[in-house]
Structure 1
Amino acid sequence: MYLLTRNSNLFLWTILTVGIVAGCQQPEKPKQAYDVAAFYWPAYHYEPRAEFLFPDKKGEWEIIYNAKPKEEGHAQPKVPLWGYLDEADSADMDKKITAAVSHGVNTFIFDWYWYEGQPFLESCVNDGFLKANKGRMNFYLMWANHDATTYWDVDNPKIDSVIWKGGVDREQFDNVVDRVIEKYFRDPSYYKIKGEPVFCIYELQTLINGLGGPQQTKEALDDFRAKVKAAGFPGLHLQGILWSALPSTIAGVPGDQIETQEDVLKYFGFNSLTNYCWAHLQNPDGDYTQWAEASTAMWTDFDRDFSIPYFPNVTVGWDANPRFLFKAGYITNPAPEKFATYVEKAKAYADAHPDQPKLITINAWNEWSEGSYLEPDTVHGLGYLEVLKKAFVENE
C-alpha cells in the first residue's frame, strides 16, 4: 500500500473491515452472511503530486509494467488481465465493483492519505468509486497516516528520506475529522457497525507523536466521537491495525499503568482490530503455506490478548520487489487453492465468535506492487475471486 515508502523492513512496506449491518444496508446490496472487506490501494491513477515519481501519469502502474525479475524463476512483472485500468475513471471502477460484488467482496477499505494539509490519492474514491458504486457495495477508510518516504527513486537515493510527514497537529487532525464526516460518513454506503461509521487508523504511534502525546491524542479522539454524534450517528467505531506501530506501552499518563497493547487500546477507546497484511506478522520470505500457517496461528494469541473484537485477515501473497532497486524477500508459490484454505479458516474463526460481526478483511484488492491482489492477472485469471465466490456467494 505504500506508493512512496520504500523501506526494506517487512512491516514498512504497506504505505502509505458484521454480518449485514443493521440500518445502513441499501436494498440494492446483495445480502451475505459474512462481510468480506478488501483493502484497496488507490495508487493506480494520475495523481499530480506524485508526477515527479511517475512521469507516465499512470500512477504506480508504471513500476508494475517496468518490473523485472531479480533472480531466475522470479515471477515479474505481474500482468493485469484487465489491463492498466484508471481507477479514477468511473467506467473502469464500475468493472471492479461489478466483479467484487459478484464474487463476494461486498466492502472496500480504502487506504486514505493526508499530507501537508490536503488529501492525497483521493480521486480514486471521489471520481471513481463514489460515482460508479450506486449503492452496490460498502466502503470505509483506513487513514494510512505514515510518513511518505523514498529511497528507490534514482534521483533521491537516500534511505528513508521523508517527502511528507504522516503525523498531524491538532488543527490538521480536526480538518481530517471534519472532512471524513461530511464527505464520507454521510454517504449511505459507508460501512457501519451498529450504526456507527467505522474508521481505521494505520499507525497509532504516528498519531500520538503528531498530536503531542497520549493525553492530547485521547482528547482529540474523544472530540472526534463527539463530532460524529453531533452529525447524527450513535457513535464512532474506531478500528486499529494490529502490528508493531500499535504501541505496547504509554509513558506519562498520570495514575495509569499502560503496559500492553490491550491497555493502550482501552485508553484510547478503540472498538476493534484487524491486520493489514501477514507481512506485518511474519517475515514475507519463502513458501506461502508456511507463511500463512504461522500468521493465522497468531489468531489464538489475539483472542487471548485483546478484549475487543479481532477481525481475521487473509493475505493473498507478497512480493514488493517492483518497488526496490535491490532484491527483497518475497513469498513463493502462492495459488488460489492455497488461499482457499485460509479463507475457510477465517470463516471458521468468524463462526466461532458469534458475539461479534462476521467481518473478514483481505489483503488486498489491488496491491500489485506488493504482490497481493484479488484482481485477475494473466497467471491465475479470476482464480482468487472464484475462491471467494465459492465461499461467500455460492454457499449462501
Structure 2
Amino acid sequence: MFKKPTLRILGNLSTTGDGVFQALNDDPQMQLLPSAGDRNSGLKRGSYYLFVNIRTFEGKILRPTLYLDFGGGMSEAQGSKFVAKRIDGDRWFFHFSARRNIKLLRFDPSESPCRFSVEDIVLVSSTKLHCAKVKAALKDLIHQFLPSYQSQTGRTSQSETFDISNLANMSMNGRNEHQDLDQQRLKLFESEYNSRVYTSKDGRHYYEYAGLATDPLGNVSKNVKSIAFYLPQMHPIPENDAWWGRGFTEWANVSKAVPRFSGHYQPRLPGELGFYDLRCVETMRRQVELANIYGLSAFCFYYYWFSGHRLLERPLDMFLSNQDLQLDFCVCWANENWTRRWDGLESDILISQKHSEQDSEAVFNDWLRYFQDKRYIKVDGKPLLLIYRPDLIPDFERTTRTWREMARNAGYRGLHIVAANAFGNQELSVAGLDGLYEFPPHNVRVPHVDASLTWFEGNHKTHAFSYGDAVQFAETQHESAADEPVTIHPGALVGWDTEARKPGRGDVMVGSNPTLFRRWLSSAYRKALRSGPNAPKLVFINAWNEWAEGAYLEPDRRHGYGYLTALRSVVREFGLESSTLKSYCDSHNATSQDPKSKAIILHLFYADLIDEFADRIEAAQRIIDADIILTVPELWTLQELEEAVHKLAPRKVFVASNVGRDVYPFILACRNVVKDGYTHVCKIHSKKSTHRVDGAAWRNDLVAGLLSNDALALLERTYFPDSTYSLAAPANSFLPLGNNEYIAGNRIHYDALVQMFGIGPYDDREFVAGTMFWCRFDALTPIFDCALSDVDFGVDLGQVDGTLAHAFERVFAMVSSQQGGNLYKIDTSFEFNIKRPI
C-alpha cells in the first residue's frame, strides 16, 4: 500500500555498516530509490508525501531537503527543491508535487555534520488518499509518526500539516489540476494577478525585505575593497533619441518587462531612488550615501569612447566635478561596438570602435583627468584600469606598454590593468595584463532549469538557470583557485535577468535573493583574502544599477535594502574585531555588585539612542529598584561602549553577535545572569523599525508602557506581589495568534518552536508585539535552557519579518504561561500612538 524506499550514499557520507551514517561535512547526499534496489525507478507526475524518521547520535539534523531531477539534473529551482517540516522530535515529512515524471530523487538529510540513522521511511501518493483503505492506513501512519503531538493536544491539528482530510483535499486539487489543464492555467494566472495586486498595494516579501539601515556601519577594517560596476545610462542622450526614440533611457526597457513563467519577478520596480535621472546630482549624492552606509568601497563607472566620441559621459564627469561625493572610483572601458542587439540584430552596428595607436594615446589623455582625482583607486601607486575586451585591441601588449609609459610620464608608477575573465582574455600574455576580474554570469557553467518552470508561453525562447546552482559553482571555483597562473580577482553577481532588454528571449537566473547573494559575496571575500600578502584584495560586484539585467544593489520594491544589507553583513563579517569590547566587558563585570531582585535587560543596538534610554531608565529607577543588564552589538566602537556604561551604569554588560535581533542577546544575557537570583526581568530594546514611518513612536510607546511612572506604580501594586502572573505587557501590545496575518511568513519557524517547547493549541492565545515585556524570570527557563545558539538564528539581513527572531516574538507569552502563570495586561491612562503594532 505504501512504498518503502531505499537510500544509497551519493557523497559526503560514510557508514559503519550497521545502518549508522556519518556526515563528513555540511552537504551529505543520498539517492532515494522509490522501489527497493531499482536505481532506474522514478516517479510518475503527481503529488506525494514522504515520511522519514531520523535518529541522531551526534550533532543535529538541520533542514533535511529533497531534490527532484526531471532529466536536467538536480537544482534549487522552484518546484525542484523541498525542505522538510518537522513533525516531532526525530520525525519529518515532505509534501512535493510534480507536473512531469521524476527521473531521480536526492535526499540531503542535514545541512550540518552529524551521525545518524534512518529508522523508517515511507512514500505515499496523495492521489490515493480518497481510497478508504489507503486513507485508513495513512491515518495509522500519521498516528505512528505523531504520537507526542496527539497526546499533547488531544485532538487533530487544524493545520494542513497534520490533518488527514486536508491532505486528501490537497490531493484531489492536485488530481484535478492534471485532469483539467484550462482550470490549471486559470488558477496560475489568477495567482500571478493576485501577486501583482499585492505588490501594487505596497505588499512586501517580508522574509526577503530589509528596511533602511539607520545604525553606523561600525568599526570595520576594509581589508577587502568591494567595487560595484556602475551603469551611467539612466538619462537621455541625442544618440539614444535617434536610435530608440526621444527620451529613451534604460527605464523604458525595465518598466515594460513582463513575467514569462510562474513566479518570474518582473517587472523590477525601484524603491527609494525611483525611476531616477542621472543628470540630477542629488540622485548620485544619495547613491554615494547609500554605498557608504552599507560598506561599498567604490564604483567602477563604465566608460564609452569611440575614436574620440564619448557617450553617457555626463554622470561620470558630474561625479568628478563634485568633490563632496566621497567614494572611491575607477573606470572600465567598455570597448565593444554598440549594436541593435536589444532588437536581436547584433550585426546592425550603431557606433563602432576603431582601435589605432593614435586612438590609444588619445583615450589615455582623456583618462588622465580621472586618474588625477584623489578618489581614484590606485594599486601600489598605479591607477586601476579595467578593459572589458582587450582581445579586440590589435597588438594589445604594445598598447599597454604605451599606456604604462604615459602613466609614468604623468608621475605614476605605471598602470594596474585588468580585464574581464571572459572572451579568451586569460590566454593573453601576462605582459599586457596585471590580472583578470571575474564578471559573472560569464564563465558560470550551470545547467538549464527550463523544464522545472511553469511557462506562460509554450514557444518561449527564454532560458532559465538556478541562481543557487550558480552560487554553488562560484563557491567551488573560489575554493579550488589556489594555483592560478594569473591573478583573478573574484566577483559576485547580485542577480541576472535580461527579460527587460530581450523580451521573450533573454536569460534569467531564478531564485536569487539576498541570502544567496551573501553566500556568493562571502565566498569572493574569502578568495580575495587568500591572495598573497602584497596582492591587491579586490572584489568586483555585478552590479550597482544594472536594472535591465536584474543585477542591482540599489533598493527595490520587493527586497527593499536586502542586497545592500547582505553586502554590509559581509563587510562586517570580514572587518569586525570585537575582542577589545569583550575584554572591557569582562573587566567591568568582574567588579559588579550583588544583584537586586529585579533587572531591566536592555539590548541597545543603536548607539545614537544611548541618551534616550539613559533618561528613561534613570526616571524608572526612581520608582523601582532594579539592576540594568546591558547587551550591545559587536560592531560598536570602544568609545561608544564606554559612553553607554557611563550613562546607563549597568551592573553587567555583554557583547552579543549581530544575530537574532533583540531575542538572542536577551537569551545570552539571561544565561549569563541565571545564577544571580533575579525574580523578575524587563526586556526592552532600541527598536527603530525603519520599514514603518511610525517606528520611533512605536518604540517610545512600548517602553513607556513598561517603565512609565503609572505603569511601574501599577506593577508594584498588582503584578510583582502576585506569583500567579508570569508575564506583563501593555494591553495594546497583545495581538491574537488566531489571526493568520500575524503568523504570515513566520509559519515554518513558528511551528518548529511550538513543537520544541511543547506548546498546545494556540488559536485562542495572544502574543506580545514588539517583544518588550516584564516577566517572571523562572517562567522563561525553557527558552534560556534551549539548545539554540547564535548559529541557529542565522545571518541577519535586516528582514522585517520571517526570521527565527520574529517567530520567537510569538512564543514568549505562551512559554511563560506553559510554565504556570497568567498574562497581565498593563492598562493605564497612557494612550498608545500606535493603533496596530505589527
TM class, shorter-length:
0.7 to 0.9
Secondary structure of 1:160's counterpart equals strand
Structure 2 residue corresponding to 1:357, chosen from 536, 544, 558: 536
3-state SS, counterpart of residue 383 of structure 2: strand
Q: Measured at CA, do residues 242 and 42 of structure 1 come closer, stay the same or move farther in structure 2, by a change above 3 Å?
A: same
User: In 2, are the aligned partners of 1:145 and 1:167 still within 8 Å (CA)?
Assistant: no
Shift of 1:186: 0.6
Q: Which residue of 2 aligns with 1:95?
A: 286
Q: Which residue of 1 aligns with 2:632?
A: none
CA distance in structure 2 between the partners assigned to 1:84 and 1:176 by the alignment: 32
TM-score by length of 1: 0.80
Superposition RMSD in Å? 2.1
Structure 2 residue matching 1:140: 3-state secondary structure: strand
Of 159, 168, 173, which residue of structure 1 is paired with 2:355?
168
Query: Compared with structure 1, are the counterparts of its residues 58 and 303 closer, same or farther at alpha carbon in structure 2 (3 Å cutoff)?
Result: farther
Which residue of structure 2 lines up, in the alignment, with residue 64 of structure 1?
254
After superposition, the C-alpha distances for 1:240-285 in whole angstroms (9 at most, x for unaligned) are 1111252x6xxxxxxxxxxxx2xx23232x1121122224433683
Quote the residue 1:152 is aligned against.
342
Partner-residue secondary structure (3-state), 1:330: strand
Aligned counterparts of 1:301 and 1:164: Cα–Cα separation in 2: 41
2:523 aligned partner: 345
Q: Which moved more, 1:52-61 or 1:225-234?
A: 52-61
Higher relative contact order (CA 8 A, sep 6+): 1
Distance 1:77 1:379 in 2: 11
Of residues 198, 210, 225, the one that matches 1:35 is: 225
Q: What is the aligned partner in structure 2 of residue 12 from structure 1?
A: none
Equivalent position of 2:498 in the other structure:
320
The CA deviation string for residues 117-162 of structure 1, in whole angstroms up to 9 with x for no partner, is: 31111111112x2244526111001111011111434xxx644311
Aligned residue in 1 for 2:439: 276
Q: Structure 1 136/207 Cα, relative in aligned 2: closer, same or farther at 3 Å?
A: same
Q: Distance in 2 between matches of 1:245 and 1:147?
A: 18
User: Which secondary structure does the structure 2 equivalent of 1:50 belong to?
Assistant: helix
In structure 2, the residue corresponding to 1:244 is in which secondary structure?
Answer: coil
Larger radius of gyration: 2
Q: Distance in 2 between matches of 1:303 and 1:273?
A: 15
CA contact (8 A) 2:382 2:416 kept: yes
CA contact (8 A) 2:320 2:370 kept: no
| Structure 2 counterpart SS, 1:39 | strand
Structure 1 position 51, deviation (Å): 1.3
**SS of 1:322's equivalent?**
coil
Q: Report sequence identity in percent.
A: 26
* Superposition deviation, residue 321 in structure 1: 1.1
Q: 2:304 aligns with which of 98, 110, 113?
A: 113
In 1, Cα distance between equivalents of 2:538 and 2:334: 20
Selected match of 2:365 from 160, 164, 178: 178
CA distance in 1 between counterparts of 2:387 and 2:366 reads: 15
Equivalent residues of 2:300, 2:331 under 8 A apart: yes
2:280 pairs with 1:86: no
Assess if the C-alpha contact under 8 Å between 1:243 and 1:281 holds in 2.
Answer: no
SS in 2 for 1:108: strand
Cα distance in structure 2, aligned partners of 1:169 and 1:97: 36
Query: Which structure carries more strand by proportion?
Result: 2
How far did 1:175 drift?
1.0
Counterpart Cα distance in 1 of 2:224 and 2:389: 27
Measured at CA, do residues 117 and 280 of structure 1 come closer, stay the same or move farther in structure 2, by a change above 3 Å?
farther
8 A contact 2:339–2:345 mirrored in 1: no
Equivalent position SS for 2:355:
coil
Letter in 2 for 1:282: R
Q: Which amino acid aligns with 2:400?
A: L
Pick closer, same or farther for the CA change 1:202–1:365 going to 2, 3 Å.
Answer: same
The one-character-per-residue Cα deviations of 1:319-348 (angstroms, maximum 9, x if unpaired) are 011111433231001000111112221222
Amino acid at match of 2:404: R
Return the alpha-carbon distance in structure 2 between the equivalents of residues 193 and 186 of structure 1.
Answer: 14
1:39 to 1:133, Cα distance in 2 relative to 1, 3 A: farther
Q: Which residue of 2 aligns with 1:125?
A: 316
**1:214-363 mapped onto 2 (5 Å cutoff):** 214=395, 217-246=396-425, 261=427, 264-268=428-432, 270-282=433-445, 285-299=464-478, 303-307=482-486, 309-355=487-533, 356-363=535-542
How many residue pairs get matched?
A: 338
Deviation sequence 1:85-118 (CA, Å, 0-9, x none):
1223211100100000111111111111112431
Alpha-carbon distance in structure 2 between the residues aligned to 1:224 and 1:265: 16
1:190 to 376, 394, 411: 376
Instruction: Extract unaligned runs of 5+ from structure 1.
Output: 1-29, 209-213, 249-260
Q: Secondary structure at the match of 1:278?
A: coil
Contact 1:115 1:164 in 2 (8 A): yes
1:66 CA drift (Å):
1.7
| Residue 74 of structure 1 pairs with residue 264 of structure 2 | yes
Residue of structure 2 equivalent to 1:143 = 333
